Amino acid sequence: MSKMPDLIRNVPFDEITLGQTASLQRTLTWRDLELFALVSGDVNPMHLDPEFAATTRFHHLIAHGMWGGALISALLGTRLPGPGTIYLSQELKFLRPVSLGDTVTATVCVIELEPEHRRVVLDCRCTDQEGNEVIAGRALVIAPSEKLVREAPHLPEVTLVPEGPSHGAC
């Protein structure tokens, strides 16, 4: 049976209000650690090698800090303000580690509006399933001028094939 397409819609500057928020939730999986390492080249063993991670101050595998940054940027790019947004700057403070299996809620909240240039300042936060703040920061964007509702792009299925022992890392 054909599924209804997912829609992606933006919030143009004129519809944005102070205090407006958007959130998304993701649970950190082993696949996220591997994909983030592949796309960034960050093969730090703190994120990929359980034996090494056991020797660190965190005692187990933790997320790449910028994975939380990527969730925040996803909110800005797909929800608030969404497609058409120009990303100008981002500050991120990494307050606590995110562990494998943690469920992270990323939230952005509009705290300043500058109508002359359609600039929007957003407070940005990630919290874990216990309510601990793991990332705090601030983003500056230019919001789109026009409303857009569009079918979300299709993403491919991804298959990760473990590498044989005779190969080096990517």
Rounded-to-integer distance, Cα 127 and Cα 131, Å:
5
Which residues does 97 contact at the CB level (< 8 Å), separation at least 6?
A: 58, 62, 63, 134
CA angle 14, 141, 82 (to 5 degrees): 65
Residue where the block lists tokens 């090698």: 49
Task: Rule CB under 8 A: say whether 3 interacts with its own copies.
Answer: yes
Report how many residues bind its own copies under the rule CB under 8 A. 72
Q: Of 14-22, 39-47, 111-119, 121-129, which segment contacts its own copies by CB under 8 A?
A: 39-47
Candidates 9, 18, 27, 43: give the one binding its own copies (CB under 8 A): 43
Name the minimum Å distance from CB 113 to its own copies: 20
Check binding of 153 to its own copies (CB under 8 A). yes
Q: What is the DSSP string of 66-126?
A: HHHHHHHHHHHHHTSS-TT-EEEEEEEEE-S--BTTPEEEEEEEEEEEEGGGTEEEEEEEE
CB of 20 to its own copies, least distance (A): 18
Do the strands 103-114 and 21-27 form a parallel or antiparallel pair, or are they unpaired? antiparallel
Residue 8 is a binding residue for its own copies (CB under 8 A) = yes
Six token digits for residue 110:
């509009």
13 binds its own copies (CB under 8 A): no
Q: Which of 39, 112, 115, 149 binds its own copies (CB under 8 A)?
A: 39
**Subset of residues 98 to 137 that bind its own copies, contact rule: CB under 8 A:** none
Site for its own copies in 54-73 (CB under 8 A): 56-57, 64-67, 69-71, 73
Q: Is 78 in the site for its own copies (CB under 8 A)?
A: yes
Out of 12, 21, 34, 105, name the contact with its own copies by CB under 8 A: 34
